[in-house]
Amino acid sequence: MEPLTLRYTVDGDSFTTAGEASTDMKRSLKRIGADADLIRRASICMYEGEINMVIHGGGGQASVTFDGQKMEIVLTDRGKGIPDIEAAMREGFSTATQEVRDLGFGAGMGLPNMKRYADEMVVESKVGAGTTVRMVLYDDPQRNA
């Protein structure tokens, strides 16, 4: 399989374009013929992360690398940061505004969802400096069984 390296700038001011990077990643993975289950998991991880970058992180950079076996997704923003990562990882924890909730987000499900679908996930954050989410996913046929 053709290896893949993708880089995106995620606009923090536009809810409308949020998800463009995820859509492009998904289509790129389909094009190279990646496993369908891996594509689904990667899409959910990337999309939740990208939405978080827009609604909480003020935008930033996303990168995706895939060698046919191992995929790494790195999302970096220079936003307000997460004061308590452990709390943020809990299902239902959200600081989203009513405006964001009215758009269908802010249930506090994104990070737990990403953790569930990624094989490895590390969140690093500094208040006032930004957040980096690194996720690794493997093309593992065992997972489908």
Q: Which chain residues interact with Mg ion by CB under 5 A?
A: 52, 110
Residue 19 interaction partner, one of Mg ion, ligand ATP, another protein, none, beta carbon < 5-8 Å per kind: another protein
What span, in angstroms and rounded, lies between the C-alpha atoms of 43 and 57? 19
Q: Is 78 a residue that touches ligand ATP (CB under 6 A)? A: no
> 53 with 22: CB under 8 angstroms?
no
Q: Is 41 a residue that touches ligand ATP (CB under 6 A)? A: no
List 38, 57, 59, 118, residue binding ligand ATP (CB under 6 A):
57
What span, in angstroms and rounded, lies between the C-alpha atoms of 116 and 125? 20
- CA-wise closest residue to 39 among 49, 47, 18: 47
User: Which tokens hold the place of 24?
Assistant: 């492009």
Residue 68 interaction partner, one of ligand ATP, another protein, Mg ion, none, beta carbon < 5-8 Å per kind: none
> 46 with 34: CB under 8 angstroms?
no
Residue 18 interaction partner, one of ligand ATP, Mg ion, another protein, none, beta carbon < 5-8 Å per kind: another protein
User: Which tokens hold the place of 84?
Assistant: 């308590």
Can you give the binding site for another protein, defined by CB under 8 A? 15-16, 18-19, 22-23, 26, 36, 40, 43-44, 47-48, 51, 103-110, 112-113, 116
3-state secondary structure of 40: helix
Shortest Å, Cβ 105 to ligand ATP: 3
